[in-house]
Structure 1
């Protein structure tokens, strides 16, 4: 679920950035940039469904 949510946040954030740029709203642009970054971080987290996660701890 984390990767899907992260992708959603990246898409919404990037859209906000673009709209903010077009209409000249710097606050909206910065908000979108922050949201897109949070989405990237969410996508980079290891998945809870990763079967190799515990294997790495054992080796």
Structure 2
């Protein structure tokens, strides 16, 4: 699994509340929901790094 890094995020209170409701509906934390949405957007834009196949073959 990749390394996790802390990143302070300033976000509009209304957006955070809507995101928290969405996360609750999908049984995720708000942090996990933000990461899910960002990963999905990166994948759709073709900007998500490809997995390193050499790391996967070692597992």
Higher relative contact order by CA 8 Å / sep ≥ 6: 1 or 2?
A: 1
Same fold (TM over 0.5): no
TM range (shorter): 0.3 to 0.5
Say which one has the larger Rg.
Answer: 1
TM-score normalised by L of structure 1: 0.33
